[in-house]
Amino acid sequence: MIKLRDLPVKIDAELKKRIEEFISKGENRFDYPSVKNFVDKAVLRLLKEVENKKGGKSEE
């Protein structure tokens, strides 16, 4: 059985380049030590926002 966490995820080359430029500037170097770390934190933040919006709406 293959677990999803074991599968690599490919990232768009232009997006990766932009992330690398961002994380190499100033304090970002300490907040995001790697592209993977940046993507993990960004996706987690987005998921929380989406879940909060869904949870805050009443279903009609």
> Nearest 5 degrees, angle CA 43-CA 23-CA 49?
25
pLDDT in the model for residue 59? 46
Residue 50 lies inside a defined structural domain of this protein: yes
Residue bearing tokens 């996706």: 43
Series of mean pLDDT values for 10-residue runs along the chain (60 residues): 72 97 95 94 95 70
Number of domains in the chain: 1
pLDDT in the model for residue 4? 67
Instruction: Provide the residue range defining the domain that includes 19.
Output: 12-56
Structure pTM? 0.73
Residue 2 lies inside a defined structural domain of this protein: no
